[in-house]
Structure 1
């Protein structure tokens, strides 16, 4: 059975699709609508990565695939409501829960890690190096990486 909250949520969504006649079987749903409750339960457990008939590795892969499917707005409910297209950022829903624009904002911890990574070499960020290159009038600076800017400025 589904153990984590993520798995329970996925199982609930799939069973909801079954009850509303939206659950389809086969690759890309080409085998038609699922009419058997037992088959719907099997599909739900497989998508949730909680099937007892598959290995742990396969279950984890299935759960990751389902998470990607939900993030891209490819579930039956999302497609029916138009969430995969309308008001979405690059075929994604804009809310944090759907992995859209708001979900891509770095956390405070992520921001701090990025800053420390940027300052690793001699304490200069790429932006600081770019500003120096701009003052010196170095050609092609906008396309240069941090290392290329360091080389162009003669820093080391």
Structure 2
């Protein structure tokens, strides 16, 4: 019984990695969320969203959704500086997609 509980906990913790790889998520540049420049992150997300054939929504929706997904999944384990960079990337993403 304990082995089953332990196995369930391990698979439950890994669901976000599985979602990123197998869902209709974007094909992202490797290491994009570790960059220091918010504009570079935003541009890369825009490129990925526009090139992707796996997305369901608009390129803007897909890019913002992927950024929010990463922040929500990794946010509590990220250094404050990196979290701030990712939050700033949201504003840059809005700018380059010409959203208000």
- TM-score computed with the length of structure 2 as normaliser: 0.30
Bigger RCO (CA 8 Å, 6+ sep): 2
Task: Indicate the structure with greater helix content.
Answer: 2
Which protein shows a greater Rg?
1
With normalisation by structure 1, the TM-score equals 0.22
